Amino acid sequence: MKQFNQLEQELKLLNVFSLMAREELSTLYKFALEVPKNSILVELGSFCGNSSYYLAEAARSTNSKLFCVDSFKVGFDGQPQIDSRSKWHQVMSNNMDVTTLLDMTTHDAGLEFNQEIDFIFIDADHTYEGLLLDLQDWLPKVKSDGLVLLHDFTNTACPGIKRAFDEYTQDTYKELNSTWSLKVFKRP
């Protein structure tokens, strides 16, 4: 298992842009490493591959499989984004042994994906409607006691995230951690 600092240095060499704080990435990696062996990890919204890189190393360390879902066409705010697909492939080129890219919208992938999930990291559509659809499509696939992580949960520029999650889960998920705008929950 690689240490967080080592992965951070590897990503610096790849010149990867990230919208997550160092502390959030560290928390993401820490919880991903806690999944049982042979788990299924899912990332909704992969952008340039920064968080994907940490999740892939956690998957490798736990003999697990990571599924990254991104159409690479629309940013977190629903607006067209830069083409981050090529950067994602560059960053993840040495991690494809544990990673499968689902190059489609999170909704389309949610309709097709038919495996139980141990860990899901949601950082895709940040609108209320978009996140609510992701929650409806993906949370039923998360195992009991599975981990659900959401980025920008407390970001005041994205009030729909907290609202959609609170409405959908009805306070039934147990909060395990809050690091900046990253929240970690356990499914009942």
Partner residues linked to 177 by β-bridges: 184
Structure tokens that stand for 186 in this block: 């356990």
**Domain coordinates in residue numbering, the chain:** 4-186
The structural architecture, per CATH, of the domain 4-186 is 3-Layer(aba) Sandwich (3.40)
Please list the pLDDT of the chain residue by residue as tens digits (188 residues). 999 999 999 999 999 888 999 999 999 999 999 999 999 999 999 999 999 999 999 999 999 999 999 999 866 666 666 778 999 999 999 999 999 999 999 999 999 999 999 999 999 999 999 999 999 999 999 999 999 999 999 999 999 999 999 999 999 999 999 999 999 999 99
The CB-based long-range contact list for 173-177 (8 Å cut-off, 24+ gap) reads 173/148, 176/31, 176/147, 177/27, 177/31
Residue pair 120/39 in contact by the 8 Å Cβ criterion: no
Could you give the CA distance from residue 145 to residue 176 in angstroms, rounded to a whole number?
11
Residue pair 187/142 in contact by the 8 Å Cβ criterion: yes
Q: Taking the model in full, what pTM does it have?
A: 0.97
